Amino acid sequence: MSADATTPKPGIEAASLTDVGRQRSNNEDSFLYWEPSSDEDFRRKGRLAVVADGMGGYEGGQEASRLAVDTVRSVYDNAFGASAQETLVEAFASAHLNIQRFATEHPQFYGMGTTCTAVSIVEHELCFAHVGDSRLYLIRGETVTRLTRDHSYVGRLVESGIVRSEDAETHPQRHILTAALGSGRDVTPHVPEHPVPIEPGDSLLLCSDGLWGLVGDAELGQVVQANAPAEACQKLVNLALDRGGPDNITVLVLRISS
């Protein structure tokens, strides 16, 4: 089990945790919480959090998720554009190409790809970009809102009304992705129409499907609301492990303070 003990600038509590699970021999998830060091950059760029869940065999998935996280951070830090939202989209395009280039140079990793969910918080506004089936939740009081849409076969069936959303979580084909960084010719991330306003007391939860596939939305929200971020991460990972932990489990919790 691996935790990231980052101490963020005032205004937020942050904690993250990853676990290989009970049935995998390696962890193909990657994650990041990052802030610029200078106050001037911080005012402009705010905070960045990323979760990625790789696919493509033993080392391919690991490499794909690492490349995605590293590229998103590098672009966000070194090539910040007109806005946080625009920069996240550019970062995903770069990560997509970097993963494809790596696979071309290392043919044994043909087919490698990764989900990626990246969040930026500037002042009191949340922007995000998302590909795949990792998830971003906003937890406000007792309300749990999933901000991302799964790029999955079952997600398409739900959107077209063929499968009920409550049945999607246990559907046998729920892990078949329809989009991933590094996979296919182009990638179009899911982004919000407008930045999402956030308030003191709000919590954000980023996680891989190794968590949400075993712990329902309402339960995720209850654990996050009832615990400090570090304890919430530990309890959520333990819940997934107690329920069999067939996949890698990664969770990142951000709580907005005043």
pLDDT value of residue 24? 84
Tokens found for residue 59: 């080392």
Scan for tokens 């996680």, then name that residue.
Answer: 207
pLDDT of residue 255: 97
Are 115 and 154 contacting, i.e. CB atoms less than 8 angstroms apart?
Answer: no
Give Dmax over CA atoms of the chain in angstroms. 50
Question: What pLDDT shows up at residue 4?
Answer: 64
**258 residues of the chain, pLDDT tens digit each:** 666 656 888 999 999 999 998 888 889 999 999 999 999 999 999 999 999 999 876 678 999 999 999 999 999 999 999 999 999 999 999 999 999 999 999 998 888 999 999 999 999 999 999 999 999 999 999 999 999 998 766 666 566 667 576 655 665 555 677 778 988 888 899 999 999 999 999 999 999 999 999 999 999 999 999 999 999 999 999 999 999 999 999 999 999 996
Q: Say if CB 246 and CB 255 are below 8 A apart.
A: no
Domain with residue 140: its CATH number is 3.60.40.10
Domain residues for the domain of 58 are 2-256
pLDDT tens readout for residues 29-75:
999 999 999 999 999 999 999 999 998 766 789 999 999 999 999 99
Dihedral, 34, 141, 3, 134 alpha carbons, nearest 10 = -70
pLDDT of residue 121: 98
- Smallest CA-to-CA distance from 33 within 53, 55, 7, 68 is with 7
DSSP string, the chain: -EEE---PPTTEEEEEEEE--SS-SS--EEEEEE--SSHHHHHHH-EEEEEEEEESSTTHHHHHHHHHHHHHHHHHHHS--SSHHHHHHHHHHHHHHHHHHHHHH-GGGTT-EE-EEEEEEETTEEEEEEESS-EEEEEETTEEEE-S---BHHHHHHHTTSS-HHHHTT-TTTT-BS--BTSSS----B--SSPEE--TT-EEEEE-HHHHTTS-HHHHHHHHHHS-HHHHHHHHHHHHHHTT--S-EEEEEEEE--
Contact (CB, 8 A) for 192 and 120: no
Which residue in the block uniquely carries the two structure tokens 């990625």?
Answer: 52
* Count of domains observed in the chain: 1
- Beta-carbon contacts of 44 under 8 Å, excluding residues fewer than 6 positions away, are 80, 122
The predicted model scores a pTM of 0.91
